[in-house]
Amino acid sequence: MAEYKGKYLLQSDSTYTVELYEDNTLKETITNVFDVNEAKAIIIPWFAQKGYTDMSVNSSNFTPDMDNFDSLYVKT
C-alpha cells in the first residue's frame, strides 16, 4: 500500500513550497504558499485521500492529528 506524505519548505521570500509524495516519488509541487498553516492544509487531504484517489474522505470522517502533524504527515 502506498504512503502519501508531504513536505513544506520555507523559501527565502518567506513563502512555502509544498511537495506531495507517493512513497518516494514526488507527485506534485505547489509554490508561493503564504502561510505554514496553508501549507499543512494542502498536505492533509493528500494524506487522507490517498493522493486524491479516495474522495469519500472529508472533514466529517477524518480529523487530522495536528499535535503529531510532522511525524504522521510529513515526509522525512
CA distance 21 to 27: 5
**Of 26, 6, 10, 8, whose CA–CA distance to 73 is shortest?**
6
Strand ranges (E), 12-70: 16-22, 25-33
Query: What residues form DSSP beta bridges with 29?
Result: 19
pLDDT at residue 1 is higher than 90: no
pLDDT, position 64: 96
pLDDT of 11-54, one tens digit each? 999 999 999 999 999 999 999 999 999 999 999 999 999 999 99
Per DSSP bridges, beta strands 16-22 and 4-10 are antiparallel
Residue 62 above 90 pLDDT? Answer: yes
Take residue 47 and report the three cell numbers written for it: 494524506
